[in-house]
Amino acid sequence: MEHIISVTVENKFGVLSRVAGLFSGRGFNIESLSVAPTLDPSMSQMTIVTSGDERIIEQIVKQLNKLIDVIKVVDLNETEFVSRETAIIKVHTKDADRAEALRIVDIFRANVIDSTPNTYTIEVSGDPKKIEAIINLLQPLGIKELIRTGRVAVAREPVRSTAIQAKKVARD
Amino acid sequence: MKLTGAEIFIECLKREGVKTVFALPGGVVLKIFDTLYQQKDIEVILTRHEQGAGHMAEGYAKATGKAGVCLVTSGPGMTNVITALADAYMDSVPVVCFSGQVPTNLIGNDAFQEADNVGLSRPCTKYNFLVKDVNDLAATIKEAFYIATTGRPGPVLVDIPKDVSMAKAEFTYPNSVSIRGYNPTYDGNKWQIKQAAEAIMKAKKPILYVGGGVIFSGASQELLELAEMTQIPVDMTLMGLGAFPGEHLLSLGMLGMHGTYQANMAIHYSDLVIAIGARFDDRVTGKVSEFCPYAKVIHVDIDPTSIRKNIHVDIPIVGDCKTVLRELNQILRATVNGEQKDLRKPWWDQIREWQQAHPLTYHQEKDGPIKPQQVVKRLYELTKDRDPIVSTDVGQHQMWAAQYFKLAKPNRWLTSGGLGTMGFGFPAAMGAQAAFRDRLVLCIAGDGSVQMNMQEMATAVVSKLPVKIIILNNGFHGMVRQWQDLFYEGRYASSYLDTTPDFVKLADAYGAVGLRVKKVGDLDAVLKEALATDKPVIVDVPTYPYENCYPMIPAGGCNHEMILEDPPELKKKQSGAAKVTPEDKDTVLTA
């Protein structure tokens, strides 16, 4: 099962390779990994998307915690969380395709961030399903390049009443 | 006053109580060696190979319980010490290794003798540092010792570029260390400990399964109290030997692949496994899915990742063995009464039955070839009053040593368990001897293993480390040969050593003493002569080459399904070789 693990680490050189080395050395999967400094510049936040059964995820969380540069590990699957991913897609666009591309951009609330006579560069952000959907629609036009950030995620703030929480979940 | 990086290094070591450094110089660490040369507080033991330095630091650490320290140069110095670091990492040995590095402005330029020391050692150290600024050096060394010796111990590397050892800085040594991502848990969860106590009170067939964690935690006394109070039998892992007295009535000896019959049967049929400072290694569990199938499992370990890594645990307790056992004993003292003894009588009857049915056996003919077990047994009997420290290499001799050398106390047993490093024993023994100059230090070795760090004999002679090496010389990589006989139809692919050096002459060439046992009747006399010598000694004991180590659980087998003796076809094959001495091995192999 897929798990999103949020890891707070020391922001210093070598930490990324310690985390990556842990995953490769112990044969754990990494589907995506994103990392950037937090508000406190001495720390970085990693979002790791991984998969495995309960026992493997338990080991991943424990092994991450064991790393001396790791300050905090949260398996977001144990709570409610929201996640987003950004993709930048360079699409071949000629003549009539240009209007079609813009329609798709519009539908997905994406943005054209660069344009040439033959291409559009489109930025889109959302959950992975949305990214997959826009990719599928743009594919017939001819995708020249595609780059995805991998997911970032954050736990939802607890809501006072469980009823409200249920509603929110339903709306999503 | 400002000090150079090299001087800061030495001041830090003094404050950590380091008396001995195992080291080999090179270009980028010359400043450090030059500064060490000009002081008298820290002894430098010059090794002949960096791997030796690393294992000596391990031996020192295992025997003293304090961090062992080694110092190597950049590039090949670092790559050579990697094996020892990997070994220390697997067996949780506190070692602090200092490596030289090319000057900071050359890092990444493929400079002469440059290697990415931090990158190389990352997967085989608990933590590692590259010190880029001399102002950070003291704090880094403090952290290195702190990390190596606290929590689950392990090796730590500090990489010091040449310019950092030469630059000057104001020296202040921090009093304490605070690392926000590193806070080992020492106190076990009270509720869990209570659960454990209740399970222990109720169990009809309990067994204690204890490992190296008990030794590093210094919990032997607490373990003894627990076992005696509750009358629970004790299985020890290879790393745990010495944690509990080997001759104690409650001791069932070592468990696992070459463990005793009773130790393996008891853990298989028990209804409560109390694991303390052990990690359910595959050499202990055999087939994981059928390991202790009837038991509830209590697991005490300071490393949370050890718990539920290999097997399901019912009552996990993360904490220091000593602290947890103290608390557990306190609860049990108030509740234990005579009833447990009655409750467990059938269990003990069963265990005694197992013990009697299949004790460790071998057959030594009076005029026949020397059996390796006989050598270990006699060595044990001749030295046990002197409370020796014993090291081993890896292979058959290691297992026979584990079976027949019944250690009474912790920190006497130096062996490479997790990594299984041949060549570990001799330098590790030297490290222990460097820590305890007056003690008797024995190294039980095989003729294959011992050659992997033989060069250190020069170190032993020059640094006056009178280790006694007893080589069980069977002319084979014996354990490989045993597996080939059992599982590869007797094809001895690369296991026959064909020619081994004359170890007596070799010892002589180094300026040590070499002795040989020619026949079994001479064994005691030669061993006694070796023990009475105050120099390093090699005792070469040519042994029966086809002796196999039993009991044996084949890899992936179940603990209660042990091979107890040579299968009939093997016996038949070897009956023709029964009278063979190593001198005419060739004829045996072609016969």
Nearest to B122 among A17, A62, A65 (CB): A17
CA distances from B120 to A147, B52, B114, B127 (A): 32, 18, 12, 12
List the structure tokens of B415. 């062996």
Q: Does residue B330 belong to the interface with chain A, where contact is any CB pair within 8 Å?
A: no
Q: Which residues of B are catalytic?
A: 50, 112-113, 162, 479
Instruction: Write out pLDDT tens, residues B409-441.
Output: 999 999 999 999 999 999 999 999 999 999 999
Q: What is the model's pLDDT at position B428?
A: 98
pLDDT-above-70 percentage for chain B: 97
State yes or no: pLDDT of B591 exceeds 70.
no
Mean pLDDT of B281-305: 95
Instruction: Write out pLDDT tens, residues A91-116.
Output: 999 888 899 999 999 999 999 999 99
Smallest Cα distance from A52 to chain B, Å = 14
Mean pLDDT of chain B: 95
Q: How many angstroms from the chain centroid is the CA of residue B207?
A: 23
| Nearest alpha carbon to residue B44 among B535, B463, B432 | B463
- Give the Cα separation of B238 and A79 in Å (integer): 42
| Nearest alpha carbon to residue B101 among B78, B133, B124 | B78
Nearest to B122 among A21, A63, A66 (CB): A21
| Nearest alpha carbon to residue B535 among B467, B445, B440 | B467
Closest residue of chain B to A72, computed from CA coordinates: B181
Contacts of A21 in chain B (CB under 8 A): 122-123
- Give the Cα separation of A160 and B10 in Å (integer): 59
Smallest Cα distance from A40 to chain B, Å = 14
Q: Does residue B181 belong to the interface with chain A, where contact is any CB pair within 8 Å?
A: yes
Mean pLDDT of B136-149: 98
| Length reported for chain A | 172
- Give the Cα separation of B63 and B410 in Å (integer): 8
Closest residue of chain B to A23, computed from CA coordinates: B123
Instruction: Write out pLDDT tens, residues B77-116.
Output: 999 999 999 999 999 999 999 999 999 999 999 999 999 9
| Nearest alpha carbon to residue A46 among A162, A150, A140 | A150
Q: What is the model's pLDDT at position B246?
A: 96
Sign of CA dihedral B117, B120, B123, B125: negative
Which residue intervals of B16-66 are DSSP H helices? 30-37, 50-64
Closest residue of chain A to B118, computed from CA coordinates: A14
Q: Does residue B305 belong to the interface with chain A, where contact is any CB pair within 8 Å?
A: yes
- Give the Cα separation of B128 and B96 in Å (integer): 10
Decide the pairing of beta strands B68-72 and B95-101: parallel
Full-model pTM: 0.93
Query: What's the count of helices (H) and strands (E) in chain A, helices before strands?
Result: 5, 9
Q: What is the model's pLDDT at position A167?
A: 47
Q: Which residues of A touch B (CB under 8 A)?
A: 9-10, 14, 17-18, 21, 25, 55, 58-59, 62-63, 65-71
Could A68 and B147 be called an inter-chain contact, meaning their C-beta atoms sit closer than 8 Å?
yes
Whether residue B92 contacts residue B156, with contact meaning beta carbons closer than 8 Å, is answered with no
| Nearest alpha carbon to residue B375 among B282, B472, B308, B294 | B472
Q: Does residue B173 belong to the interface with chain A, where contact is any CB pair within 8 Å?
A: no
Contacts of A59 in chain B (CB under 8 A): 305, 308-309
- Give the Cα separation of A6 and A60 in Å (integer): 12
Instruction: Write out pLDDT tens, residues B320-336.
Output: 999 999 999 999 999 99
Smallest Cα distance from B400 to chain A, Å = 32
Per-residue confidence band for B478, with pLDDT thresholds at 50, 70 and 90: very high
Closest residue of chain A to B179, computed from CA coordinates: A68
Q: What is the dihedral of CA A105, A108, A111, A117, to 10 degrees?
A: -10
The three-state (H, E, C) secondary structure of B228-292, written as one string? HHHCCCEEECCCCCCCCCCCCCCEEEECCCCCCHHHHHHHHHCCEEEEECCCCCHHHHCCHHHCC
Could B305 and A9 be called an inter-chain contact, meaning their C-beta atoms sit closer than 8 Å?
no
Instruction: Write out pLDDT tens, residues A40-91.
Output: 999 999 999 999 999 999 999 999 999 999 999 999 999 999 999 999 999 9
pLDDT-above-90 percentage for chain B: 93
Indicate the helix (H) or strand (E) that contains B472: strand B468-473
Whether residue B255 contacts residue B246, with contact meaning beta carbons closer than 8 Å, is answered with no
Mean pLDDT of B448-452: 96
Q: What is the model's pLDDT at position B577?
A: 55
Could B126 and A68 be called an inter-chain contact, meaning their C-beta atoms sit closer than 8 Å?
yes
Could B179 and A17 be called an inter-chain contact, meaning their C-beta atoms sit closer than 8 Å?
no
Whether residue B422 contacts residue B449, with contact meaning beta carbons closer than 8 Å, is answered with yes
Instruction: Write out pLDDT tens, residues B509-524.
Output: 999 999 999 999 999 9
List the structure tokens of B269. 């049929």
Q: How many angstroms from the chain centroid is the CA of residue A151?
A: 1
- Give the Cα separation of B247 and B381 in Å (integer): 12
Q: What contacts A116, CB < 8 A, 6 or more positions away?
A: none
Nearest to A58 among B123, B181, B308 (CB): B308
Q: Which amino acid is at A144?
A: K
Instruction: Write out pLDDT tens, residues A18-52.
Output: 999 999 999 999 999 999 999 999 999 999 999 99
Q: Does residue B147 belong to the interface with chain A, where contact is any CB pair within 8 Å?
A: yes
Smallest Cα distance from A82 to chain B, Å = 26
Instruction: Write out pLDDT tens, residues B235-261.
Output: 999 999 999 999 999 999 999 999 999
Contacts of B126 in chain A (CB under 8 A): 68
ipTM of the complex: 0.90
Per-residue confidence band for B572, with pLDDT thresholds at 50, 70 and 90: confident
Residue the block writes with tokens 């280790």? B467
Could B118 and A14 be called an inter-chain contact, meaning their C-beta atoms sit closer than 8 Å?
yes
| Nearest alpha carbon to residue B29 among B81, B96, B75, B95 | B75
Nearest to B181 among A10, A55, A58 (CB): A10
- Give the Cα separation of A82 and B500 in Å (integer): 67
Q: What is the model's pLDDT at position A95?
A: 84
